[in-house]
């Protein structure tokens, strides 16, 4: 496959010399202007639309802009935007005194992922606040955090999906050095870092890319407008841009994995899809660094090609989020069947999700009005990431309510068991572990009044399919953001401590199950008891056999079990703020409280 050979884009410092590389295929002249000194550095045109220069006039901390045919713009590959998305770019030296040379991230099947948003995770709204909470994550049993996007966005309040400078770490979070310090601290504690990245669109404010080159194409449309140009004329420059960004995260920031946002919205009919190039680049980096790096995708297609190997002309991503598990679980727990929930039949589909991963594997979807999906047969369980809530599923509710604001404590504990004892890779959403009721609403801090109003109207229209009453919170209001910031004082309350202890115990049990060899998709037998609104999960065999009973009914249910069993966990136990006191063992039958679950280990058949 033809390649330009370009690896470094933007301005990079090497041994005190600035190397400047800008893609502007239609430009007649490109000049790098150093702001405070007024120095101009002319660039020379090279191959494939790249302009290049070397200079000793640029130093770390200098502000600069590129003049494209006389018009000044920030650098598309800027490493820092301290004055925001409309301001000058700033030179940053990404050299860092790493202490993690001996760190290796956990294997994919051992990950316990914790999704967080830097701005609302703590009251400091930055990377240092995350570092302060590493002891909490360790005690909980977390070994990987997944950070929502940190590419520079307008203002200082945003989910991160409006990023327009993919190489610049959000300045209000602490910038490049702050992220490097966070990764280094996590690695020192044995925690991997997964970063959410967006390659399907750019944000609407501060997007100067079209002034440099054809970063977009009119061949396709996406929910955000024109598609990013991965296969049209001059697409080589766009592909170089994305691949250089991935290289930066892995090499300069030591990120352990990337979560690629909504890859179904990446439009590419090239003979080699951009995701295949991403896979090959990542494999090269793994070989060079001798450490694993994971590629995780959000995908709405139930298409196994995203996971199948390159030799099958597939994309070979390591894992994918699986929303269908979430949807089936929520309907089983009582979620009203509106919007995309209309497609799901609660426990019946949850049982299928446990067994097949994809609920829609070629069957008919009434919501989509078509036959949908492929079989996930043969794909191991760790390649599917499951959750009872995440930023999307909470934040895309009109009021951003978390599970704790919607369900009883017993249902919350039951859903946690359903996720953490699944054969898939579990992910928690920040604050879930102590049952916070703090919402996670949609928030922005745009500077354009027309755009602000458009976002407000868009939020109102978004909930039409859910027939929601009322008005969404104003996404531009500072109060909306402040409402979402976690209150860590909550953790000290007795009820929250019991929920936190329950999650900690669940995670510990998952690790013990994995160590016993009785855990995994291949060792799982699923039974849906329709009369008792329950799911029974049998894991392993012989002396390592385990049985999880998930009772979603509103009644206490009794179940016959062959042999003698030890109670490993009862979600309704008093120590978790329930009201059961069953003891340690059961023989021939077991009683499970309403909306509760129990985990049993076989003692003798």
DSSP 480-537: HHHHHS--GGGGGSHHHHHHHHHHHHHHHHHHHHHHHT--SGGGEEEEEETTTTEEEE
Report which of 537, 535, 597 is spatially closest to residue 567, judged by C-alpha positions.
Answer: 597
Written as one string, the DSSP assignment of 406-443 is: HS-HHHHHHHHHHHHTSSSEEEEETTGGGT--------
Predicted local confidence at residue 558, as pLDDT: 96
pLDDT in tens, 56-94: 989 999 999 999 999 999 999 999 999 999 999 999 999
- E strand or H helix that includes residue 18: strand 17-23
Which of 298, 303, 318, 573 is the catalytic position?
298
Give the Cα separation of 414 and 420 in Å (integer).
10
- Please state the rounded mean pLDDT for residues 339-343: 91
Helix (H, G, I), strand (E, B) or coil at 597: strand
CB 441 within 8 A of CB 475: yes
- Please state the rounded mean pLDDT for residues 326-352: 95
Any binding-site annotation on 391? yes
Reading across the β-sheet that carries 44-45, which strands appear in turn? 10-14, 17-23, 50-55, 44-45
CA 339 to chain centroid, in Å, comes to 22
Predicted local confidence at residue 8, as pLDDT: 87
Report which of 556, 509, 531, 538 is spatially closest to residue 410, judged by C-alpha positions.
Answer: 556
User: Which tokens go with 91?
Assistant: 């030179």
pLDDT in tens, 14-23: 988 999 999 9
Label residue 587 by pLDDT band (50, 70, 90). Answer: confident
User: Which tokens go with 219?
Assistant: 């061949």
CB 85 within 8 A of CB 97: no
Any binding-site annotation on 30? no
10 Å CB burial of residue 504 (0-12, 13-18, 19+) is: middle
| Torsional sign, CA 188, 191, 196, 197 | positive
Total Cβ atoms within 10 A of residue 496? 19
100 is catalytic: no
pLDDT in tens, 452-507: 999 999 888 877 766 567 789 999 999 999 999 999 999 999 999 999 999 999 99
Report which of 429, 424, 417, 378 is spatially closest to residue 535, judged by C-alpha positions.
Answer: 417
Residue percentage of the chain with pLDDT more than 70: 99
- The strand ranges marked E within 93-141 are 113-116
Label residue 396 by pLDDT band (50, 70, 90). Answer: confident
Helix (H, G, I), strand (E, B) or coil at 341: helix
Helix (H, G, I), strand (E, B) or coil at 551: strand
Any binding-site annotation on 387? no
DSSP-assigned letter for residue 371: E
Give the Cα separation of 79 and 168 in Å (integer).
4
Q: Residue 346: left (phi > 0), alpha (psi -120 to 50), or beta?
A: left
Helix (H, G, I), strand (E, B) or coil at 244: helix
Written as one string, the DSSP assignment of 453-494 is: HHHHHHHHHHTGGGT--S----TT-HHHHHHHS--GGGGGSH
251 is catalytic: no
Predicted local confidence at residue 586, as pLDDT: 87
Written as one string, the DSSP assignment of 159-220 is: -STT--EEEEE-GGGTHHHHHHHHHHHHHHTT-EEEEEE--S---SSS--GGGTS--EEEEE
Label residue 1 by pLDDT band (50, 70, 90). Answer: very low
pLDDT at 588 over 90: no
Label residue 585 by pLDDT band (50, 70, 90). Answer: confident
Written as one string, the DSSP assignment of 19-70 is: EEEEE-TT-S-EEEEETTTTEEEE-EE-GGGEEEEEESS--TT-EEEEEETT
Report which of 358, 417, 386 is spatially closest to residue 551, judged by C-alpha positions.
Answer: 417
Helix (H, G, I), strand (E, B) or coil at 605: coil
pLDDT at 282 over 90: yes
pTM of structure: 0.97
Predicted local confidence at residue 130, as pLDDT: 98
Predicted local confidence at residue 196, as pLDDT: 98
Any binding-site annotation on 264? yes
pLDDT at 518 over 80: no
Label residue 540 by pLDDT band (50, 70, 90). Answer: confident
Predicted local confidence at residue 398, as pLDDT: 92
Residue percentage of the chain with pLDDT more than 90: 89
Any binding-site annotation on 259? yes
Taken in order of first residue, the domains within the chain and their CATH numbers are 10-90 (2.60.40.10), 518-604 (2.60.40.1180)
- Write down the mean pLDDT value for the chain: 95
Any binding-site annotation on 392? yes
Which of 62, 146, 261, 533 is the catalytic position?
261
User: C-alpha distances in angstroms, 467 versus 265, 339, 397, 441, 463?
Assistant: 26, 8, 12, 18, 6
Any binding-site annotation on 146? no
CA angle 144, 149, 155 (to 5 degrees): 140
Label residue 605 by pLDDT band (50, 70, 90). Answer: confident
Residue indicated by tokens 């229209």: 461
Give the Cα separation of 183 and 34 in Å (integer).
31
User: C-alpha distances in angstroms, 122 versus 236, 277, 313, 482, 601?
Assistant: 40, 37, 43, 11, 39
Given 3-state DSSP classes, what are the helix, strand and coil percentages for the chain, each rounded to the nearest 5?
35, 25, 45
Predicted local confidence at residue 2, as pLDDT: 57
Torsion over CA of 508, 425, 260 and 437, rounded to 10 degrees?
Answer: -60
């Amino acid at each position: 496959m033809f390649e330009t050979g370009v690896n470094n884009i933007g301005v990079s410092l090497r041994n005190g010399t600035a190397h400047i590389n800008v893609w502007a295929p239609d430009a007649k002249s490109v000049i790098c202007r150093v702001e405070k000194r007024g120095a101009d550095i002319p660039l020379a045109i090279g191959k494939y639309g790249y302009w290049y220069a070397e200079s000793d006039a640029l130093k770390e901390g200098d502000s600069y802009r590129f003049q494209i045919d006389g018009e000044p713009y920030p650098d598309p590959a800027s490493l820092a935007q301290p004055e925001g998305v409309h301001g000058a770019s700033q030179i940053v030296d990404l050299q860092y005194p790493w202490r993690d040379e001996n760190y290796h991230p956990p294997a994919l099947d051992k990950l316990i992922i914790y999704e967080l948003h830097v701005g609302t995770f703590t009251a400091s709204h930055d990377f240092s606040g995350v570092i302060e909470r590493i002891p909490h994550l360790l005690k909980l049993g977390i070994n990987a955090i997944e950070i929502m996007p940190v590419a520079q966005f307008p203002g200082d309040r945003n989910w991160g999906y409006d990023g327009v400078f993919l190489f610049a770490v959000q300045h209000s979070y602490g910038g490049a050095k702050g992220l490097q310090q966070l990764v280094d601290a996590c690695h020192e504690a044995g925690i991997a870092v997964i970063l959410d990245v967006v390659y399907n669109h750019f944000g609407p404010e501060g997007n100067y890319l079209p002034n440099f080159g054809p970063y977009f194409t009119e061949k396709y449309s996406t929910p955000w407008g024109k598609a990013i140009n991965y296969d049209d004329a001059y697409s080589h420059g766009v592909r170089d841009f994305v691949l250089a960004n991935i290289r930066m995260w892995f090499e300069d920031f030591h990120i352990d994995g990337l979560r690629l946002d909504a890859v179904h919205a990446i439009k590419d009919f090239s003979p080699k899809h951009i995701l295949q190039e991403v896979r090959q680049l990542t494999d090269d980096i793994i070989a060079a660094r001798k450490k694993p790096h994971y590629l995780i995708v959000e995908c709405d297609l139930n298409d196994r090609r995203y996971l199948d190997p390159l030799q099958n002309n597939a994309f070979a991503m390591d894992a994918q989020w699986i929303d269908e598990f979430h949807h089936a679980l929520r309907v089983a727990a009582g979620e009203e069947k509106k919007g995309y929930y209309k497609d799901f039949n609660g426990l019946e589909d949850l049982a299928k999700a446990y067994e097949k991963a994809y609920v829609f594997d070629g069957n008919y979807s009434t919501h989509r009005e078509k036959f949908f999906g492929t079989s996930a047969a043969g794909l191991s369980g760790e390649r599917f990431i499951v959750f009872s809530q995440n930023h999307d599923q909470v934040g895309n509710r009109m009021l951003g309510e978390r599970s704790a604001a919607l369900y009883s404590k017993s249902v919350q504990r039951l859903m946690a068991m359903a996720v953490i004892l699944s054969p898939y890779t579990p992910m928690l959403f920040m604050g879930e572990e102590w049952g916070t009721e703090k919402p996670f609403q949609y928030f922005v801090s745009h500077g354009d009044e027309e755009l602000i109003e458009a976002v407000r109207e868009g939020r109102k229209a978004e909930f039409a399919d859910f027939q929601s009453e009322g008005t969404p919170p104003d996404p531009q209001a500072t109060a909306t953001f402040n409402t979402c910031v976690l209150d860590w004082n909550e953790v000290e309350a007795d009820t929250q401590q019991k929920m936190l202890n329950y999650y900690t115990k669940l995670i510990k049990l998952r690790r013990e199950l994995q160590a016993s060899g009785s855990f995994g998709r291949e060792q799982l037998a699923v039974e849906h008891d329709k009369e008792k609104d329950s799911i029974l999960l049998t894991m392993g065999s012989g002396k390592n056999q385990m049985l999880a009973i998930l009772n979603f009914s509103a009644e206490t249910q009794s179940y016959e079990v062959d042999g003698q069993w030890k109670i490993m966990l009862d979600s309704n136990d008093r120590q978790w703020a329930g009201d059961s006191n069953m003891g340690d063992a059961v023989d021939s039958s077991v009683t499970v409280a309403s909306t509760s679950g129990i985990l049993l280990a076989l003692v003798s058949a």
